[in-house]
């Protein structure tokens, strides 16, 4: 069954908004809860109200788990953070939550690095690798917007990856640096400028961009770091704020006058001057102790190396208030004792926040493993004099520290792992899909002729415009199978770990659009991928016991065909393993429950209808969704460009946009800005407008 392309309505139907007593959330509910959703929502809400620390939502693919999560958040009326195991899933969840909460703050907090090479030392080769990174400005802006929303309002949903357990600035220090401006405040021009510089804003009269300000007489224009397309103009008279206006930084058009505006620091690491001076003294103390240790051990090269690097950093801190690699001194700035956990996004959450861990069986493992990998790399740097021992405290949280900081949590998974099963106070099952869709029919076939058999199955599906996922065990097998299928005229692509997040999202989107019909993968075709057009999942070598063919992996992979009315899974195996038997039994149990529900309610299964752009909306530019054809043409132009050419093109368009703006050709400037947004979307995968709601203060 081919998916119907549904266009987003231009205006939301007011009658579909639902509110709950005492909750600041307005839930856009295009359809009422159905199937197992009402009982799951009621169970989870009751559990939260009863004070249960941990609960599990056991929801099958296509049962509307995100809708259930949105309902629980809206009914409880508390700030919420939703963890996803990777950026692809985070993008999908972010898009869906923005649809459910269009009038509330839905934020996105993932790693802002497009490229990241951490500092490292390889003693065997005496090789020091300098830290090298490229920060995605759009995602940095979205991260700043997330912490701002948490400090300003209660109706917040943050979609985050494990990036949220890595150290960021101390919330109390960050809070001290916030500048609140009100009309009528006694504040001189020099005072405002001094505060902005302390918050790491840069004065720039020529190039007005995010995180900068400009001064023209008694007028100060500030481009807040957490906004992409909005700036504030502060007009002073006789050392008093006379008026404030929001304006478009590109066209200069004034949007509206405001009585109050809060300027947030341009970095999470911004620190008050007295804290910097205190940190300098404790860094000097630690340096003295460490140098004594190296001299005692006769490690003179390490001592000289450490002294040279640290003295340079101290000078930078003394003069500028920050230095390269300032995060390695974070313990000195926060005043924490050695070994204490660093401040993270979790510390910005209020005590009554809700935590939802999507695909928790994967996520818990990730949270567990982050600390050890980071520690191993940093110990070398400390032992050989590249960093002081305090650098070890700039780290992700250990799992037991994360557990201590956890708020009331709901694990969400189709296949909960041992941890969730042990911890969960109660389990809410969501096995019945509102659409009536039944879990895929499972067939086991011999592995001897698996490749030829898969080809004939693919041809049958392609003939009726349906898509196929094939999962194999090794990269080599995936490459060979892709080549074999392509030689036989199949439009096929291969998804592997070398493909970056943005391209991965595009490959999935192209599969949905029908640019190709078959996607071959190894371990990437499992959790949460939302592809309703897929009617067949073929699992090759299903009897090879191991992580990729364990019970949970098999159930997740089979579930990829559960959104299609003709869904089927074929397991190629010569022996029936225990994992296969358990996976087949569990799928059959879920099938039986859905079939019984359909018969009792008189439901005819119908395929999932989902807009093709859904997975990318929100993180990618939502405005471009209506200009599909124009976008495709523009994208074709950029498709063959190298990274260098794309960077050149971005610079050219930025200059062209500023030239148009200087010549007062604002329409042309806006068109160029749209082109830029399109190109950045292609390269970076994140380009959203600002949430301007309630910006004038409460």
Residue 342: left if φ>0, alpha if ψ -120 to 50, beta else—which one? beta
Confidence tier at 662 by pLDDT (50, 70, 90): confident
pLDDT value of residue 609: 66
* Full strand arrangement of the beta sheet holding 408-413: 105-109, 156-160, 80-83, 354-358, 408-413, 54-59, 426-430
Domain ranges of the chain: 34-171+342-430, 179-263, 276-334, 441-601, 628-684
Q: Looking at 1-10, 72-81, 396-405, which range is the least confident one?
A: 1-10
Closest CA to 430 of 33, 39, 83, 32: 39
pLDDT value of residue 608: 67
CA 619 remoteness from chain centre: 9
How many angstroms separate the CA atoms of 693 and 409, rounded?
29
554 burial type by CB count under 10 A (0-12 exposed, 13-18 middle, 19+ buried): buried
138 close to 687: Cβ distance less than 8 angstroms:
yes
pLDDT in tens, 455-508: 999 999 999 999 999 999 888 899 999 999 999 999 999 887 777 666 777 788
The dihedral sign for the CA sequence 264, 266, 268, 274:
negative
Two structure tokens written together for 662: 């200087």
Instruction: Give CA angle at 327 (321, 329), nearest 5°.
Output: 75
Instruction: For residue 10, give the 3-state DSSP assignment.
Output: coil
CATH superfamily, with its number, for domain 34-171+342-430 = P-loop containing nucleotide triphosphate hydrolases (3.40.50.300)
Dihedral, CA atoms, 213, 215, 220, 224, nearest 10 degrees? 0
Instruction: Kindly report the length of the chain.
Output: 698
pLDDT in tens, 57-73: 998 877 889 999 999 99
Residue 14's CB is within 10 A of a number of other CB atoms, namely 7
pLDDT value of residue 243: 95
How many angstroms separate the CA atoms of 365 and 552, rounded?
14
Q: Is the pTM of this model over 0.95?
A: no
> What Cα–Cα distance (Å) separates residue 403 from each residue in 35, 353, 372, 392, 407?
33, 14, 16, 20, 9
Mean pLDDT of 548-570: 88
- Percent of the chain at pLDDT > 90 equals 50
φ, ψ dihedrals at 459, nearest 5°: -60, -40
How many angstroms separate the CA atoms of 530 and 201, rounded?
41
Residue 334's CB is within 10 A of a number of other CB atoms, namely 21
Confidence tier at 631 by pLDDT (50, 70, 90): low
Residue 695 has pLDDT above 50, yes or no: no
Residue 626 has pLDDT above 70, yes or no: no
Mean pLDDT of 309-325: 90
Strands (E), 613-677: none
Residue 375: left if φ>0, alpha if ψ -120 to 50, beta else—which one? alpha
Highest mean pLDDT range out of 269-273, 393-397, 569-573?
569-573
What is the fold, at CATH topology level, of the domain defined by 441-601?
Rossmann fold (3.40.50)
Stronger pLDDT, 134 or 110, i.e. the higher one: 110
φ, ψ dihedrals at 46, nearest 5°: -65, -40
Element of type H or E holding 68:
helix 65-76
Task: Write down the H helix ranges in 325-471.
Answer: 330-334, 345-348, 360-383, 399-405, 418-423, 450-463
We find that the CATH architecture of domain 179-263 is 2-Layer Sandwich (3.30)
Stronger pLDDT, 314 or 123, i.e. the higher one: 314
pLDDT in tens, 569-623: 999 999 999 999 999 999 999 999 999 999 998 988 887 666 665 444 444 443 4
Two structure tokens written together for 276: 């910097």
Two structure tokens written together for 20: 């709950």
pLDDT in tens, 667-686: 778 888 888 877 776 665 54
φ, ψ dihedrals at 303, nearest 5°: -65, -45
What is the fold, at CATH topology level, of the domain defined by 628-684?
DNA Excision Repair, Uvrb; Chain A (4.10.860)
pLDDT value of residue 676: 82
pLDDT value of residue 643: 66
Closest CA to 313 of 297, 295, 326: 326
Q: Which residues contact residue 29 at a Cβ distance below 8 angstroms, ignoring those fewer than 6 apart?
A: 16, 17, 18, 71, 100
- Percent of the chain at pLDDT > 70 equals 89
Residue 438 has pLDDT above 60, yes or no: yes
Two structure tokens written together for 669: 């400037």
612 close to 3: Cβ distance less than 8 angstroms:
yes
pLDDT value of residue 614: 47
Q: Specify which residues 570 forms β-bridges with.
A: 443, 538
Mean pLDDT of 245-265: 92
Mean pLDDT of 510-536: 81
The mean pLDDT of the chain is 85
Closest CA to 617 of 82, 97, 251: 97
Q: What is the CA radius of gyration of the chain?
A: 27
Closest CA to 469 of 415, 516, 414: 516
How many angstroms separate the CA atoms of 146 and 174, rounded?
13
> What Cα–Cα distance (Å) separates residue 397 from each residue in 390, 401, 405, 548?
15, 6, 10, 28
> What Cα–Cα distance (Å) separates residue 4 from each residue in 359, 429, 632, 677?
27, 29, 20, 28
Per the listing, tokens 């996607």 go with 519
515 close to 493: Cβ distance less than 8 angstroms:
no
Strands (E), 541-670: 568-572
pLDDT value of residue 80: 97
Strands (E), 79-150: 80-83, 105-109, 113-117, 120-122, 127-129, 132-135
pLDDT value of residue 320: 82
Instruction: Give CA angle at 280 (275, 285), nearest 5°.
Output: 125
pLDDT value of residue 195: 92
Mean pLDDT of 107-135: 83
> What Cα–Cα distance (Å) separates residue 116 from each residue in 8, 113, 133, 395, 437?
36, 6, 4, 15, 42
Instruction: For residue 203, give the 3-state DSSP assignment.
Output: strand
Is the fold of 34-171+342-430 the same as that of 628-684? no
């Amino acid at each position: 069954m081919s998916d119907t392309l549904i266009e987003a309505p231009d205006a939301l139907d007011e009658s579909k908004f639902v509110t709950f007593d005492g909750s600041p959330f307005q839930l856009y509910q295009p359809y009422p809860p159905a199937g197992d959703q009402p009982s799951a929502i009621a169970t989870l809400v009751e559990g939260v109200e009863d004070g249960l620390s941990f609960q599990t939502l056991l929801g099958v693919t296509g049962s509307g788990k995100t809708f259930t999560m949105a309902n629980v958040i809206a009914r409880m009326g508390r700030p919420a953070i939703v963890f996803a195991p990777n950026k692809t899933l985070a993008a999908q969840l972010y898009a869906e939550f923005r649809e459910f909460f269009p009038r509330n703050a839905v934020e996105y907090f993932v790693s802002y690095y497009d490229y990241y090479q951490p500092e490292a030392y390889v003693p065997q080769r005496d090789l020091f690798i300098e830290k090298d990174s490229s920060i995605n400005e759009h995602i940095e802006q979205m991260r700043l917007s997330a912490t701002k929303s948490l400090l300003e309002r209660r109706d917040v949903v943050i979609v985050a990856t494990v990036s949220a357990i890595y150290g960021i600035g101390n919330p109390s220090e960050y809070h001290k640096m916030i500048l609140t401006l009100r009309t009528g405040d006694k504040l001189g021009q020099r005072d405002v400028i001094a505060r902005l510089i302390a918050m790491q804003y840069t004065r720039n009269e020529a190039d007005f961009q995010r995180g900068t300000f400009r001064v023209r007489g008694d007028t100060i224009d500030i481009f807040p770091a957490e906004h992409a397309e909005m700036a504030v103009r502060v007009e002073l008279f006789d050392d008093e704020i006379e008026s404030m206006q929001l304006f478009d930084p590109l066209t200069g058009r004034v949007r509206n006058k405001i009585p109050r505006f809060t300027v947030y620091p341009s970095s999470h690491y911004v620190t008050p001057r007295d804290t910097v001076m205190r940190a300098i003294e404790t860094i000097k103390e630690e340096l003295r102790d460490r140098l004594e240790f190296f001299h005692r051990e006769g490690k003179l090269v390490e001592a000289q190396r450490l002294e040279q690097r640290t003295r340079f950093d101290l000078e930078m801190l003394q003069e500028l208030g920050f230095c390269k690699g300032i995060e390695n001194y974070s313990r000195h700035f926060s005043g924490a004792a050695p070994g204490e956990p660093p401040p993270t996004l979790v510390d910005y959450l209020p005590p009554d926040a809700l935590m939802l861990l999507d695909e928790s069986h994967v996520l818990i493992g990730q949270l567990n493993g982050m600390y050890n990998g980071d520690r191993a790399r940093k110990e070398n740097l400390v032992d050989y004099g590249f960093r002081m021992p305090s650098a070890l405290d700039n780290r992700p949280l250990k799992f037991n520290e994360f557990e201590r900081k956890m708020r009331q949590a709901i694990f969400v998974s189709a296949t909960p792992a041992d941890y969730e099963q042990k911890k969960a106070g109660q389990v809410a099952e969501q096995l019945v899909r509102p659409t009536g869709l039944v879990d895929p029919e499972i067939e086991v076939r011999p592995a001897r002729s698996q490749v030829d058999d898969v080809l004939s199955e693919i041809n049958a599906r392609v003939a009726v415009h349906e898509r196929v996922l094939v999962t194999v065990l090794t990269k080599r097998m995936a490459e060979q199978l892709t080549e074999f299928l392509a030689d036989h005229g199949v439009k096929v692509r291969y998804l592997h770990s070398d493909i970056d997040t943005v391209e991965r999202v595009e490959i999935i989107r192209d599969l949905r659009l029908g640019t190709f019909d078959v996607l071959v993968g190894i371990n990437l075709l499992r959790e949460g991928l939302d592809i309703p057009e897929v009617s067949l999942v073929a699992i090759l070598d299903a009897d090879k016991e191991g992580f990729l063919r364990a019970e949970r992996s098999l159930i997740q992979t089979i579930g990829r065909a559960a959104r299609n009315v003709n869904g089927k899974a074929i397991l190629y195996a010569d022996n029936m393993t225990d994992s296969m038997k358990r996976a087949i039994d569990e799928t059959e149990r879920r099938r039986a429950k859905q079939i019984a529900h359909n018969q009792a309610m008189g439901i005819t299964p119908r395929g999932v209808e989902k807009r093709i752009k859904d997975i990318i909306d929100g993180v990618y530019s939502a405005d471009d969704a209506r200009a599909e054809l124009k976008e495709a043409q523009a994208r074709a132009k950029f498709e063959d460009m190298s990274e260098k050419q794309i960077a050149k093109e971005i610079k050219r368009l930025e200059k062209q946009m500023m030239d148009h703006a200087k010549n007062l050709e604002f329409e042309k400037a806006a068109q160029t800005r749209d082109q830029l947004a399109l190109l950045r979307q292609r390269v970076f995968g994140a380009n959203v407008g600002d949430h301007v709601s309630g910006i004038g203060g409460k």
